[in-house]
Structure 1
Amino acid sequence: MIYREYPPHPALRAHVACLWTARVAAPVSASAPHVHRVLPDNCVDILWQDDGRQAYAVGMMSASFLVPAARPVRTVAVRFRPGAAGAFLGAPLHPLTDARAQLADLWGRSLADRLDDALWTDDLTDRQRIALVERELLRRLAAADGTPAASLGMRAVAALEAAHGALTVASLADGLGLSRQHLALQFRQQVGISPKLFARICRFRRALALLRAPDRDGDLAALAADCGYFDQSHLVRDFRDFADSTPALERHR
């Protein structure tokens, strides 16, 4: 698979992590499709593909999953920053967790079909397709009137990411001047998962990045301490929960 990320339009940077394209070549045989593993990343994506399927949004993930590709396919997509997708999709995010929704159900069939036709009817470059997606995102951002940047969810996300997930829900709620119950309810609606799960995924992704760094020696106890885990066993549990793997296997992937 050929994968490439593109920085978003300046007006979208607070809400969009990146836009991306992917091309999957034909597999050796139909019985041996390409398989791509996707790990939880605390983001929501919208994907447009040229294989006849309707565009769809993929919600927050609580575990890894495998994506087989049995035939060639091109993809153009947007990856939203945590907590920002709700205003662009026009819907609460928690029903999308570990699921997907047809873009036609979120944006309306007419608009979704027009954008899909514009993306794939003509032989455009990847950058031209990215520009078409950005144009619609900018239109929806203007209609949202800045709501994403001001949301409670995004303020909570910023605090959790700044701490690399090493922040308790009680401390987060205190810092925002909220009850834990109110924080949990609003976070789930605006971000898609609970703040505790979001923090765990933040911590796991930091541990994974450090584990694969060339200067790390594979000392899991030290890695657990560096990433704010109570002990090594909690680190290993997160690797099993979020990657269906072990630190030893992930280190060399």
Structure 2
Amino acid sequence: MHYREYAPHPALAPYLACVWAARAPGGAHKHRVLPDNCVDILWQDGGQEGFAVGMMSSAILVASERPVRTLAVRFKPGMAGLFLATPLHVLTDQRAEIDQLWGRSDADRLADALWTSEAPERARLAIIERELLRRLRAARPDGGALVRQALALLDGSGGEVRVEALAARLGVSRQHLAAQFREHVGLPPKLYARICRFRRATAALDAGGAPDWAQLALECGYFDQSHLIHDFQQLAGSTPERFHFSNREAA
């Protein structure tokens, strides 16, 4: 499977983690997508509608029956709402057709521009970026400054800041912080922090070697190994050992 990420247009860099393209081969197969604290919008060839994929609270299996080309953008946490103009909790663990979010006319115009030319994939991604830039110019301020401060603290700590301490540092109640996360992120702050720690653990496993599970748990911000195991079961649908083995087999 071909997969490649590109740096976004400089004006979109504060909002996008990347733009990306993929080509999946033909034949029935599935691949696992892990929660990554990001929202993506994907466009695929073959006449399908573009669609947004909200924040994920656990892994999903994506099935493919035919060759598929995908062009997509991945938003940084807390940034998708500027472009989708909807509270992000309505997209959590869901997908929404882009025509429902942007309107049929704009959705069709963009799809036609993406799939009726023979432009290279990076040039096609630039078409999406131009649409996002147009929407950014028309966007209203989203009032998410508090959430962005909270996200910076959570990401900077790798998910180790406790929600109570985070709310106190920001001078707000836990309830207010949770409501802001619901609207601007799509996940509760505690779950967001758990996924931060989980991503640290999966990245460490990807680095290779035979892991010391107890040491890995401590290094990734877990209280102990049992909490690491629990999060892998909840977020990846697998024990850490089985996850590590399957990743090595796929490499």
TM-score tier, shorter chain, comes to: over 0.9
TM-score by structure 1 length?
Answer: 0.94
Deviation at 1:124, TM superposition (A): 1.8
Once residues 208 and 89 of structure 1 are traced to their aligned partners in structure 2, the CA distance between those partners, rounded to angstroms, is 29
Q: SS of the residue aligned with 2:152?
A: helix
- Identify which of 81, 98, 103 aligns with 1:103: 98
Q: 1:118 to 1:190 in 2, by over 3 A?
A: same
Once residues 173 and 85 of structure 1 are traced to their aligned partners in structure 2, the CA distance between those partners, rounded to angstroms, is 23
Q: SS of the residue aligned with 2:21?
A: strand
Deviations 1:113-171 (A, max 9, x none): 100011001222101111100001111112226x3696322221111100100111111
Does the 8 Å CA contact 1:169/1:195 hold for their aligned counterparts? Answer: yes
The answer to whether residue 170 in structure 2 is matched with residue 179 in structure 1 is: no
Once residues 73 and 208 of structure 1 are traced to their aligned partners in structure 2, the CA distance between those partners, rounded to angstroms, is 27
What one-letter code is carried by the residue in structure 1 that aligns with 2:83? F
Once residues 128 and 6 of structure 1 are traced to their aligned partners in structure 2, the CA distance between those partners, rounded to angstroms, is 11
The alignment's C-alpha RMSD in Å is 1.3
Counterparts of 1:206-245 in structure 2, within 5 Å, are: 206-214=200-208, 216-245=209-238
- Identify which of 111, 117, 125 aligns with 1:130: 125
The residue aligned with 1:86 is: 81
The residue aligned with 2:193 is: 199
Deviation at 1:175, TM superposition (A): 1.4
Q: SS of the residue aligned with 1:19?
A: strand
The answer to whether residue 20 in structure 2 is matched with residue 20 in structure 1 is: yes
- Count of aligned pairs: 246
Does the 8 Å CA contact 1:211/1:247 hold for their aligned counterparts? Answer: no
Deviation at 1:250, TM superposition (A): 2.3
- Identify which of 141, 144, 153 aligns with 1:159: 153
Once residues 65 and 150 of structure 1 are traced to their aligned partners in structure 2, the CA distance between those partners, rounded to angstroms, is 28
The residue aligned with 1:61 is: 56
Runs of 4+ in 1 over 6 A off after TM superposition: none
Unmatched segments (≥5 aa) in structure 1: 28-32
* Identity in percent: 59
- Identify which of 63, 72, 77 aligns with 1:77: 72
What one-letter code is carried by the residue in structure 2 that aligns with 1:213? A
Q: SS of the residue aligned with 2:73?
A: strand
What one-letter code is carried by the residue in structure 2 that aligns with 1:208? T
Once residues 149 and 48 of structure 1 are traced to their aligned partners in structure 2, the CA distance between those partners, rounded to angstroms, is 29
- Identify which of 243, 246, 251 aligns with 1:250: 243
Does the 8 Å CA contact 2:144/2:184 hold for their aligned counterparts? Answer: no
